[in-house]
Amino acid sequence: MLDCLFCGIASGQIPAEIIQEDSRTIAFRDINPQAPAHVLVIPKEHYVDLAAVAEAGGGLLEEMGRLAHRAAVAEGIDRSGYRAVFNSGPDSGQEVPHVHAHVLGGRRLSWPPG
Ligand code: 5GP
Ligand code: ZN
């Protein structure tokens, strides 16, 4: 999709620190990390939010989950633990309208979120 930041990262037109990649998904470091490890997992194809990718079906959501775990392994936080979270829609504070899972770890994370 034209003018989409994460489509630009997926296509390589916008630089990002890529951690893991699969045929339909890509994981890269968040530019403004909220934890020692903070990775974003996206589908290469454009979907606005979790609702859109969930409704599309076809196993993409499972592939995103798998890549999130692979990214956690690559970051060395799979044993210490990590959080994978989607912001979806206005109340969540989602800022980038291309679905992404945040993978956070490397320190004790607070719960519940603010
Ligand atoms: P949201 O608020 O939409 O759930 O999260 C968007 C995330 O994208 C934020 O954590 C923000 O730091 C990250 N982000 C915004 N712009 C860029 C960018 O240009 N590159 C990377 N790697 N991350 C970005
Ligand atoms: Zn996009």
Cβ burial, residue 98 (10 Å; 0-12/13-18/19+): buried
User: How far is it, in rounded angstroms, from Cα 108 to Cα 59?
Assistant: 31
Nearest one of 34, 105, 45, 107 to 71, comparing CA atoms: 105
Sorted by sequence, the CB contacts under 8 Å of residue 59 that are 6+ apart come out as none
Query: Of the residues 13, 96, 103, which should be mutated to test ligand 1's pocket, given the most ligand atoms within 8 Å of the CB?
Result: 96
Span 91-108, pLDDT tens digits: 999 999 999 999 999 999
Q: Which domains does the chain have, with CATH numbers?
A: 5-105 (3.30.428.10)
Q: Do the beta carbons of residue 98 and residue 42 sit within 8 Å?
A: yes
Ligand 1 pocket, Cβ-based, cut-off 6 angstroms:
5, 16, 28-32, 40, 87, 93-96
Residue located via tokens 């979270």: 85
Query: Of the residues 11, 18, 28, 30, which should be mutated to test ligand 1's pocket, given the most ligand atoms within 8 Å of the CB?
Result: 30
Query: What predicted TM-score, i.e. pTM, was given to this entire model?
Result: 0.97
* Number of Cβ atoms within 10 Å of the Cβ of 108: 9
Distance 96 CA to ligand 2 centre (A): 9
Span 51-90, pLDDT tens digits: 999 999 999 999 999 999 999 999 999 999 999 999 998 8
- Report the half-sphere exposure of 3 (CA within 13 A, side-chain side): 0
Omega prior to 112 cis, within 30 of 0? yes
